Amino acid sequence: MYLTDDSSNKGSRNCYYRETYRPQFHYSPEKNWMNDPNGLVYYEGEYHLFYQHTPHDTQPDFGRMHWGHAVSKDLVHWDELPPAIPPGEDGAIFSGSAVVDKNNTSGFFNEEGSGLVAIYTNEGNRAQPGKPQVQSIAYSRDKGRTWTKYEGNPVLFPMETLDFRDPKVFWHDESAMWIMVLAVRERVEFYTSPNLREWSFASKFGSDIQHIHRGIFECPDIFQIQVDEDPNTTKWILMLSVGDRNGVNPDDPEPPAGGSGMMYFIGNFDGKAFTLDETLGSYDAIKWVDYGSDFYAAVTWNGIPNEDGRKIWVGWMNNWRYGTTLPSEEWRGKMSIPRELQLRTYPEGLHLIQAPISELSQLRKPILSLQDLTIKSGMNVLSDISAAKAEIIAEFEISTAVEFGFKVRKSSNQETIIGYNSSNGELFVDRTKSSAIDFHSDFTAIHKAPMKPEHGRVQLSIYVDWSSVEVFGNHGEIIISDMIFPDLESRGLELYAIGGELRAVSLQINDLVSIWGTENV
């Protein structure tokens, strides 16, 4: 359970959520393993976050995977509930989604009128030999607190492949049908249903597209979104997570930061098939969601009210390349901060934008605000500031400096550099000196992303927590999300410029108060 700011709670649980590397404004389970977000749904005033969870171990136990569960009123403060859906004779509970069945199409809610239905993959199901991954459903009549597995499970079997998982389901108004998009190894498949219990194959996508088959597909998502916030102009975006290669298609390039990553496709969906707007002629044409190592399996919330209108998602802050070796001891795995998605037009075409949700502003505790400041090589205007977690919002005017940026979580032997190289137009995060220990050879790295100045300026929004940095460049055009594991005592901050001068148009630094009500640093 999360704690409020009530002083009696602080006194009774003085060490709550203060373990080494514990994130202070990101969701993490109280203990043990967590991976993919599942079943994201808003219902009767609550945001539900389900996730892959091993409640008995800090390592993933795929044969006994549960759906963990947390709820929130504001997407910021979370109340962890008992695991929602446990494994059983039907197999482990792998990734999936949840929907509000407001018209009782399923027939599960005669008296209630509406309720929640979860759609998930059963791994290790014995119902059909040789096809261990099948799709099953469960329903809740009490706002997600208890769940009943449908007695007619499984509701969907694979035709041929062993990889048949991670259903994302939504209601499609135009066809008056439920739509499921499913990861089927090197492609996704679409299915339709009138009632969430009976499913029919509609189409497939991706098997004939070159340059994208570097690993099996996982955790797909598809949604309609406005272009440039114009309600009369919309597109559909298909999201695909791609697992760590592990020897599959060794000739295909990896995601920008290596290991597992996410790509997206822009096109149209007619209720049965997704069609791509443009041909992917090369690897360079792939649109990547994040240029850091640690944003994966993100999916959007279903059920957000029309009057809100936002597309919001959250991702797992980890990478399968090294995820099971993280140095945290009591818990292993956390979520990113929730992000709002938009689609904007640029000279080179449409581009996905991600921005931290506005609800995070309630955590702000101002530290510093400056305007129109000239930074020269060798000076540090932030030398008096110490921060183990922070929100940094800055806008710079490109001048003579060839490189500039911030060094965060800094000490005599540790630092994470968030910088911009003016000469080649690259945003980067350098975590080669960020961590207290070297727990995996692929963790130490510099992650780069192409980013052009806008009207001669570069804007950065940076979120530093006890074990992560999330960098939003040019108002969310480019994202780099990376874990770091510095000593808690490493909390120095530096604004630097190399090779010339830099004009800081504006700079705001805020502390972000711990969401667990145990503010101490």
In contact, 414 and 393? CB cutoff 8 Å: no
CA–CA gap between residue 381 and residue 392 (Å, rounded):
14
Q: Strand, coil or helix: what is 10?
A: helix
CA–CA gap between residue 366 and residue 386 (Å, rounded):
13
DSSP 397-415: E--S-SEEEEEEEE-SS-E
Catalytic residue among 5, 36, 252, 290: 36
Chain centre distance of CA 445 = 20
- Closest by Cα among 245, 301, 383 to 47: 301
Strand pairing partners for 32?
331
CA–CA gap between residue 409 and residue 433 (Å, rounded):
10
Binning the chain into helix, strand and coil, the percentages to the nearest 5 are 5, 50, 50
CA–CA gap between residue 235 and residue 268 (Å, rounded):
6
Q: Residue 208 corresponds to which tokens in the numbers above?
A: 């004939």
- Closest by Cα among 66, 5, 99 to 516: 5
CA–CA gap between residue 456 and residue 438 (Å, rounded):
39
CA–CA gap between residue 77 and residue 215 (Å, rounded):
35
H or E element at residue 355: strand 349-356
DSSP 263-275: EEEEEEE-SS-EE
Q: Residue 147 corresponds to which tokens in the numbers above?
A: 């769940």
In contact, 11 and 318? CB cutoff 8 Å: no
- Known catalytic membership, residue 36: yes
14 burial type by CB count under 10 A (0-12 exposed, 13-18 middle, 19+ buried): exposed
Q: Which residues are catalytic?
A: 36
